[in-house]
Structure 1
């Protein structure tokens, strides 16, 4: 599920209007609507604020947000899946190295 789909689902479950969340994020309603539709990207600070406003796990929203960013970066690359696997291995290795 994309970041936009997830925040829309959470917003609707809480019976909140786009304009209320937009105001809390200090953006206009059309901008918030575009974020929900995946036409605009939220900023990291907005993701953190949305997690609080929607009373949901911040890691869940950050994961969906970051996954969207990664997808947008590699979606047209023929070697995208291989590149992601290499990046995953690199991340795991760097975390092990930091623990030592």
Structure 2
């Protein structure tokens, strides 16, 4: 974070009526899975966006571009350099990107 960073308050976005129930179910699923937790108020809260997927389920996005992203002190990590540093490595991990937006 930039040293002078302050939380930015944004009004909640309205949710389309047709998405309220599926979005609620998806948030409950994420909560029950331990992926998210409920807070009543947070200084660094951000906007949630529910986007319908082709299979009629909902993908939940956090819109950081209007809150946290403006306060970040950017550090660039180009992938080619990172992959070159892994050459000759002995320990690796397998990542599951099924919920990569998290």
**Structure (1 or 2) with the larger CA radius of gyration:** 2
**TM-score normalised to structure 1 length:** 0.27
Which structure is higher in RCO with an 8 Å CA cutoff and minimum separation 6?
2
Q: Which has the higher helix share?
A: 1
**TM-score normalised to structure 2 length:** 0.27
